[in-house]
Amino acid sequence: MRTLLLNLYDYFSIHFTSSDWGRTFLFIKSFSLMLSFMLFAALVFLIIKLRVDIKNSVQIVTKSVGASSRPKRRMSREWSAVLKKLESGEESNLKLAIIEADKILDNILKKSGYKGDNMGERLKQITSAQIANIDAIWQAHKIRNNIVHDPDFRLTRQDAENAVKIYQRALEDLMAL
């Protein structure tokens, strides 16, 4: 250990004479200045990016709240009708419950400013950051499409209840219910 310390002392005493210290400090200062500038630039970039992300999130929430301009009482009535159809247990009413739940969500998306000719096009514009259960909504919407386009499609009560719960969660996320 003592030998190592002596070797380090010899190394520093040989390589860092008084004239070398000036260059060494100049190098350290230059390196520190460049590193500080790069870190500052990275910080500015991250702040700008974060502000853009926050701004987008605020716009999404604002759109969603604006979408709930539909009177809550009317929305509650429409949603109650969906739940009543679901409770009946008849397959035709189960199918109607899903179709109506899909229509309610689609109307909310339209009012929120999502563009497109149909629900599928509007759903493509939504990310999981905007609506947490977007993948589940796609599955429920596929069930709705099967109901509408396939007259032989069989729907179980469990599948209908799951789909309606998915739509309900989405409407709650959008503050429409």
Domain annotation covers residue 151:
yes
Q: Are 52 and 77 found together in one domain?
A: no
Q: Is residue 163 part of a domain?
A: yes
pLDDT for the residue numbered 27: 76
Q: Are residues 41 and 76 in the same domain?
A: no
pLDDT value at 83 more than 70: yes
Going by C-alpha positions, the residue among 21, 44, 23, 25 that lies closest to residue 33 is 25
Residue 66 lies in a domain: no
**Which SS3 state, helix, strand or coil, does residue 69 take?**
coil
Task: Looking at the structure, tell me whether residues 47 and 76 fall in a common domain.
Answer: no
Question: What gap in Å lies between CA 22 and CA 18, rounded to an integer?
Answer: 7
Task: Please indicate, yes or no, whether residues 52 and 91 belong to a single structural domain of this protein.
Answer: no
| Pair (7, 80) in one structural domain | no
Could you tell me the CA-to-CA distances from 34 to 20, 27, 47 in Å, in that order?
21, 11, 20
Which pLDDT score, from 0 to 100, does residue 143 have? 93
pLDDT at 148: 92
d(CA 65, CA 59): 10
Token duo for residue 175: 């503050």
Q: Tell me whether residue 93 is in a domain.
A: yes
Look at the chain and count its residues: 177
pLDDT band at 62 (very low <50, low <70, confident <90, very high): low
Same domain, yes or no: 92 and 162: yes
Same domain, 45 and 13: yes
Count of H-run helices and E-run strands, the chain: 7, 0
How many structural domains is the chain composed of? 2
Which of the 8 DSSP states describes residue 98?
Answer: H
- CB count, 10 Å around CB of 3? 7
Range of the domain at 88: 72-173
Distance CA 68, CA 15 (A): 74
- Looking at the fold, whether 50 and 76 belong to one and the same domain comes out as no
